[in-house]
Amino acid sequence: MKILLINPFGSNWIEGRRDDTETAVRLAPMGILFVASYLMKKGFDVDIYNCRGKADRGTSDLINKVISLKPDIVGFTSTTSSFPGAYHLATEIRKALPDVKIVFGGVHISALREKILEKFPLIDFLVTGEGEIAMTELAGGKDPRMIQGVLSRDAHGIQSCGFRTELCELDDLPFPAYSKLEGFPKYFEPPLFNYPRAPSASIISSRGCPYQCSYCDRSVFRKSFRYNSAEYLYEHMALLKKDFKVRHIFFYDDLFTFNRKRVEDFCGLLRKKPLHMTFNCAVRVGHADDALLQTLKAAGGWMVSIGMESGDQGLLERHKSNVTLNEIRDTVRRIKKNGMRVKGLFMMGLPGETEQTIKGTSDFIEELRLDDMNMTKFTPFPGAPSYKTINEEGTFDERWELMNCMNFVFVPKGIESKEKMEKLHRQAIKRFYTGKNWMSKFWPLMFKCPDSTFRLIKNLPTFLRIRDQFE
């Protein structure tokens, strides 16, 4: 049984502009790497094709690869914005190999479930929620109607036996199948100046989130919070160091510090048996006291990000559980005091946003004197709570290929037009990156992050083009 897993190219573009995100950020597709390693452990022959990867030469290259590999199953991962492109590829693959089974998994599939099978006839199976066990059972020939999480069709229509309740023991999972990913780790590059040394890699060490923010799509892992042990985490980092010479880690967990004991044990291991690696992680306000921050720093913590979303207290109360502006201020101050860089993650255009609240957020960003920030464009994903009532809150243009947080597909009632939103967004970004705070931090960073500086120089025309978008 041969299985080919595909990471589609997606659409990480701003409508009407050239897609330069390839140069700005390229990260490994962790979901299919996890599924691949589990399948391999169970004896299946697995390959990965990364449309955002080093070897990609476009659709015809993929089709040639499919024809030469002749897989029995082709599996696509998909977010909302990458789904249309993935389905297009599936159509081409089906023409080339009419008997191949086509499986889709990932967040967009987990959110829309039956609706996807109803509208997209070429797809044979959906794997919703956690994919490792379900996909292995499917590939192993178990009746799809009996596999939790799988949706299929038969003569009576769409069949599903519900959500998965039998979940993976995270410490039993083999490490992601990095060796199947062409160009790993050097080809994968995170945002500039977000890492002191290259190469870097990302790790996800937990699944699920007990909080419920209005904009967050938790369709895959849902509410229950599970995590890898400190020992597993240490071994994972050690493997990346030993086999791939990775020097910096991005922990992409939403709640990295949620379980304090785990973080203390993990940092303790890093101090006892140093790997000489650095790492970034995200903390949630309320889960980052001084002692914990000191522990992170001592173990190699370099930058900490916080999902701040807005500088308006009213909007926070409406959209994000248990976070106040004062707590954000306090956490930022303490991260800096403990010697780590701090990055703020914001979102513009939430329901209820007005020009006033946008101005407030921009002022808040200035006040915090952050070391970096990111401001995405709010996007109502089908799996997020805000989606249900979004049409009452403003105008929503639900074109999936544009739903990549780089386009305003939703204009809240309080703002006159999409063009106005774009203008306010550009202004906020420009204000930060041309302000005194960033300028004073930028020059020292050129020396602190030599790999980023080199990358910036090497790709200067592209980065200048990206900068010009904010003019």
Structural contact between residues 442 and 185, judged by C-beta atoms closer than 8 angstroms: no
∠ Cα 391 395 399 (to 5°): 95
Q: How far is the CB of 372 from ligand B12 (least distance, A)?
A: 14
Choose among 140, 134, 141, 136: nearest CA to 161. Answer: 134
Compute the least distance from the CB of residue 274 to ligand B12, in Å.
26
Closest distance between ligand B12 and the C-beta of residue 234, in Å? 19
Structure tokens at 394: 């403003």
The DSSP secondary-structure symbol of 26 reads B
Q: Pick between residue 35 and residue 316 the one whose CB is nearest to ligand B12.
A: 35
What's the CA gap between 62 and 183, in Å, rounded?
17
The secondary structure of residue 378, as a DSSP letter, is: P
**Contact by Cβ (8 Å): 129, 163:** yes
The residue among 305 and 357 lying less far from ligand B12, judged by its C-beta, is 305
DSSP letters, 168-222, are --GGGSPPP-GGGSTTTTTT-B-STTS-SSS-EEEE--EE--S---TT---TTT-
**Between 287 and 359, whose beta carbon lies closer to ligand B12?**
287
Nearer to ligand B12, 52 or 418 (CB): 52
Residue 47 CB, shortest distance to ligand B12, in Å, is: 13
Shortest CB 343 distance to ligand B12, Å:
13
Q: Beta 301-309 vs 226-227: how paired, if at all?
A: unpaired
Measured from the CB atom, the residue of 217 and 451 that comes closer to ligand B12 is 217
> Nearest distance from residue 141's CB to ligand B12, in Å?
15
Q: How far is CA 226 from CA 123, 140, 156, 256, in A?
A: 30, 26, 36, 11
Residues that bind ligand B12 (CB under 6 A): 5, 10, 12, 25, 27, 29-32, 34-35, 75-77, 79-82, 103, 105-108, 111, 127, 130-132, 135, 202, 204, 216-217, 220, 252, 254, 376, 381, 383, 404-406
Least distance in Å: CB of 405 to ligand B12? 4
DSSP string, 254-278: TTTTSSHHHHHHHHHHHHHS----E
Q: Which is nearer to ligand B12, 127 or 332 (CB)?
A: 127
Nearer to ligand B12, 295 or 308 (CB): 308
Closest to ligand B12 by CB, 24 vs 298, is 24
Q: How far is CA 104 from the centre of its chain?
A: 18
Residue type, 70: K
Least Å from the CB of residue 233 to ligand B12: 14
- In this structure, the strands spanning 206-207 and 150-154 are unpaired
Side by side, the strands of the sheet bearing 73-77 are: 45-50, 2-7, 73-77, 101-105, 125-127, 150-154, 157-160
Nearer to ligand B12, 192 or 295 (CB): 192
- Least distance from C-beta 389 to ligand B12, angstroms? 17
